[in-house]
Amino acid sequence: MKKAMKGNISLITGSVMVAITFSLLILSFIWTPHDPLEVTPDDSFAGISSKHFLGADKLGRDILSQIIVGSRVTLLVAALAVTIAMTLGVSAGITIAVASRKLQAPMVYAVNIALAFPAALLAIILAAVYGASTLTAVSAIGLATAAAVAQVTRRTAYGILASDYVLAAHACGASTWRIIRKHVMPNLRASLLIQASAVVSVSVLAESSLSYLGLGTPPPAPSWGRMLAGSQQYIFVNPLLAIWPGIAIVIVVLGFNLVGDGVREVFDPTLRRSDS
Amino acid sequence: MNQPLLEAINLSRTYKLAKGSAGKGKAFRHALVEMNLSINTGDRIGIVGESGSGKTTLVRLLLGLDTPTSGSVEFKGQTLISGKMPWLRKDVQIVFQDPRSSLDPRMKISEIIREPLVCLGIDEDHDARIDEVLDSVGLERAMRDRYPHELSGGQRQRVAIARALAPRPGVLIADEPVSALDVLVRDQILELIAQLTDKLGLTLILVSHDLSVIARLCNRVIVMKDGAVVESGNTREVFDRPAHEFTRALIGAIPRLPESL
Amino acid sequence: MNIVVFGARRLFLFISSLVVSSAIVFSMLRLLPGDLAQAKLGIQATPEALATLRHELGIDRSLIAQYWDWLSHALHGDLGISILSGADITAEIAQKATVTVPLVIMASVLAVLVSIPLGMYAALRYRRMDGVATSAMSQFGIAVPTFWTGLLISTFFAVAWQVLPAGGFPEGGWSEPGIAFKSMALPVFTLALGQGAVLMRFARSATIDTLQQDYFRTARATGLTRVQALRKHGVRNAMIPVISVLGMQMATLIVEAIIVENVFALPGIGQMLLQDVNNRDLLKVQGIIAVTTSIVFFVSFLVDLVLGFLDPRVRQSA
Ligand SMILES: Nc1ncnc2c1ncn2[C@@H]1O[C@H](COP(=O)(O)OP(=O)(O)OP(=O)(O)O)[C@@H](O)[C@H]1O
Ligand SMILES: [Mg+2]
Average pLDDT over chain C, rounded to whole?
Answer: 80
Angle at the Cα of A71 (from A69 to A253), degrees rounded to 5?
Answer: 160
pLDDT in tens, A184-231: 999 998 889 889 999 999 999 999 998 898 888 888 878 888 888 887
**Cβ A52 vs Cβ A63: under 8 Å:** yes
Q: Is A172 close to B89, i.e. CB distance below 8 A? A: yes
What is the A176 CA–ligand 2 centroid distance (Å)?
25
At A146, the pLDDT band (50, 70, 90 cuts) reads: very high
User: Which residues of chain B make contact with A276, given a CB cutoff of 8 A?
Assistant: 100-101
Q: Looking at the partner chain, which of A112, A125, A232 has a beta carbon nearest the beta carbon of C28?
A: A125
Q: Has residue B22 got a pLDDT over 50? A: no
Residue C38 has phi, psi (to 5 degrees) of -60, -45
Cβ-in-10-Å burial (0-12, 13-18, 19+) of B51 comes to: exposed
Give me the residues paired with residue B75 across strands: B6, B78
Taking the CB of residue B261, how many other CB atoms lie within 10 A of it? 11
pLDDT at residue C318, as a whole number = 43
Interface check B95 vs A, CB under 8 A: no
Gap between the Cα atoms of C140 and C202, Å rounded: 15
**Cβ A93 vs Cβ A157: under 8 Å:** yes
Residue nearest to atom 2 of ligand 1 (CA): B15
Gap between the Cα atoms of A89 and A150, Å rounded: 4
DSSP3 helix / strand / coil % (chain A, rounded to 5): 80, 0, 20
Find the ligand nearest to B33 CA: 1
Gap between the Cα atoms of C137 and C262, Å rounded: 26
The β-bridge relationship of strands B228-234 and B220-225 is antiparallel
Nearest chain A Cα distance for residue C171, angstroms: 23
- Higher-pLDDT residue of B132 and C311 is B132
pLDDT in tens, C31-50: 655 566 666 677 677 778 77
Mean pLDDT of C126-147: 81
Gap between the Cα atoms of A75 and A18, Å rounded: 11
pLDDT at residue A275, as a whole number = 33
pLDDT in tens, C103-133: 999 999 999 898 888 888 888 777 777 777 7
A179 closest CA partner among A159, A160, A155: A160
- Most confident of the ranges A3-17, A84-98, C209-223: A84-98
Torsion B237-B239-B243-B244 (CA) sign: positive
Q: Is A129 close to C147, i.e. CB distance below 8 A? A: no
Comparing A1-10, A17-26, B91-100, which segment has the lowest mean pLDDT? A1-10
**Cβ B247 vs Cβ B222: under 8 Å:** no
Residue type at B173 in one-letter notation: I
Q: Tell me the CB-side half-sphere exposure of residue B22, using CA atoms within 13 A.
A: 8
Nearest chain B Cα distance for residue C1, angstroms: 4
- In chain B, positions 42-71, which contact chain A (CB-CB < 8 Å)? 63, 65
Q: Is A174 close to B119, i.e. CB distance below 8 A? A: yes
Give me the residues paired with residue B228 across strands: B225
B176 closest CA partner among A276, A273, A164, A272: A164
* Test site for ligand 1: of B13, B32, B50, B53, most ligand atoms within 8 A of the Cβ: B53
Gap between the Cα atoms of A159 and A191, Å rounded: 12
Interface check B174 vs A, CB under 8 A: no
Length of chain A: 276
Helix or strand or coil: residue B12? strand
Taking the CB of residue A148, how many other CB atoms lie within 10 A of it? 22
Mean pLDDT of A5-26: 83
Gap between the Cα atoms of B163 and B141, Å rounded: 14
At B113, the pLDDT band (50, 70, 90 cuts) reads: very high
Distances (CA, A) of A260 to A253, B137, B206, C316: 11, 41, 45, 31
- Higher-pLDDT residue of B43 and C155 is B43
Gap between the Cα atoms of A165 and B117, Å rounded: 16
Gap between the Cα atoms of B220 and B38, Å rounded: 11
**Cβ C179 vs Cβ C170: under 8 Å:** yes
At B62, the pLDDT band (50, 70, 90 cuts) reads: very high
Gap between the Cα atoms of B54 and B138, Å rounded: 32
B222 closest CA partner among B17, B62, B21, B106: B62
Give me the residues paired with residue B205 across strands: B45, B173
User: Which residues of chain A make contact with B160, given a CB cutoff of 8 A?
Assistant: 168
Torsion A167-A173-A179-A181 (CA) sign: negative
What is the B56 CA–ligand 2 centroid distance (Å)?
4
pTM: 0.83
Gap between the Cα atoms of A128 and C278, Å rounded: 7
pLDDT at residue B109, as a whole number = 94
Helix or strand or coil: residue B10? strand
What chains are in contact with C, requiring at least 3 Cβ pairs below 8 Å?
A, B
Gap between the Cα atoms of B241 and B239, Å rounded: 6
- Higher-pLDDT residue of A65 and B190 is B190
* H or E stretch at B9: strand B6-16
Residue of A nearest to B92 (CA): A171
Helix or strand or coil: residue B47? strand
pLDDT at residue B261, as a whole number = 45
Gap between the Cα atoms of B227 and C67, Å rounded: 56
Residue C210 has phi, psi (to 5 degrees) of -55, -40
Q: Has residue B104 got a pLDDT over 70? A: yes
Gap between the Cα atoms of A67 and A245, Å rounded: 7
Q: What is the CA radius of gyration of chain B?
A: 19
Q: Has residue A4 got a pLDDT over 60? A: no
Angle at the Cα of B19 (from C314 to C9), degrees rounded to 5?
Answer: 65
At B18, the pLDDT band (50, 70, 90 cuts) reads: low
The β-bridge relationship of strands B92-95 and B6-16 is unpaired
Gap between the Cα atoms of B177 and B99, Å rounded: 9
At A182, the pLDDT band (50, 70, 90 cuts) reads: very high
Distances (CA, A) of B34 to A148, B202, B226, C71: 45, 27, 11, 55
User: Which residues of chain B make contact with C2, given a CB cutoff of 8 A?
Assistant: 20, 24
ipTM above 0.90, yes or no: no
Residue B71 has phi, psi (to 5 degrees) of 85, -175
* H or E stretch at B7: strand B6-16
Q: Has residue B197 got a pLDDT over 50? A: yes
Q: Has residue C81 got a pLDDT over 50? A: yes
User: Which residues of chain C make contact with A248, given a CB cutoff of 8 A?
Assistant: none
pLDDT at residue A132, as a whole number = 83
Helix or strand or coil: residue B36? strand
Gap between the Cα atoms of B103 and B105, Å rounded: 6
The β-bridge relationship of strands B78-79 and B228-234 is unpaired
Instruction: State what percent of residues in chain B have pLDDT above 70.
Output: 92
Q: Has residue A262 got a pLDDT over 90? A: no
What is the B55 CA–ligand 2 centroid distance (Å)?
6
Give me the residues paired with residue C86 across strands: none
**Cβ A103 vs Cβ A187: under 8 Å:** no
> How far does CA A128 lie from the centroid of its chain?
23
User: Which residues of chain A make contact with C136, given a CB cutoff of 8 A?
Assistant: none
Nearest chain A Cα distance for residue C173, angstroms: 25
Residue type at C73 in one-letter notation: H
pLDDT in tens, C245-278: 888 788 888 889 999 998 888 888 888 888 888 8
Comparing B37-46, C98-107, C146-155, C208-217, which segment has the lowest mean pLDDT? C208-217
What chains are in contact with B, requiring at least 3 Cβ pairs below 8 Å?
A, C
pLDDT at residue A1, as a whole number = 45
Residue nearest to atom 22 of ligand 1 (CA): B56
Alpha helices by DSSP H, listed for chain C, are 3-30, 36-41, 47-57, 63-75, 89-124, 129-143, 146-153, 177-211, 214-221, 226-229, 235-248, 250-263, 269-279, 282-310, 312-316
Taking the CB of residue B258, how many other CB atoms lie within 10 A of it? 12
DSSP notation for B105-165:
TTS-HHHHHHHHHHHTT--S-HHHHHHHHHHHTT--GGGGG--GGGS-HHHHHHHHHHHHH
* H or E stretch at A165: helix A164-171
pLDDT at residue A272, as a whole number = 40
Q: Is A174 close to B104, i.e. CB distance below 8 A? A: no
Could you tell me the domains of chain A? 2-271 (1.10.3720.10)
* Test site for ligand 1: of B12, B14, B15, B211, most ligand atoms within 8 A of the Cβ: B15
- Most confident of the ranges A229-233, B58-62, B252-256: B58-62
Q: Has residue C296 got a pLDDT over 80? A: yes
- Higher-pLDDT residue of C31 and C227 is C227
**Cβ A273 vs Cβ B100: under 8 Å:** no
pLDDT in tens, C158-186: 777 777 777 777 777 777 777 777 788 88
What is the B29 CA–ligand 2 centroid distance (Å)?
15
Taking the CB of residue B147, how many other CB atoms lie within 10 A of it? 16
Quickly count helices (H) and strands (E) in chain B: 10, 10
Length of chain C: 318
Which residues lie closer than 8 Å to B257 by C-beta, 6 or more apart? B212, B215, B239, B251
Residue nearest to atom 30 of ligand 1 (CA): B52
Find the ligand nearest to B54 CA: 1
Instruction: State what percent of residues in chain B have pLDDT above 90.
Output: 46
> Ligand 1 pocket: which residues have CB below 6 Å?
B 15, 17, 29, 31, 49, 51-57
Cβ-in-10-Å burial (0-12, 13-18, 19+) of C62 comes to: exposed
Mean pLDDT of C141-147: 89
User: Which residues of chain C make contact with B18, given a CB cutoff of 8 A?
Assistant: 316
Q: Looking at the partner chain, which of C262, C289, C297 has a beta carbon nearest the beta carbon of A213?
A: C262
Length of chain B: 261
Q: Has residue C218 got a pLDDT over 80? A: no
Gap between the Cα atoms of B188 and B224, Å rounded: 27
Q: Has residue B159 got a pLDDT over 70? A: yes
At C312, the pLDDT band (50, 70, 90 cuts) reads: low
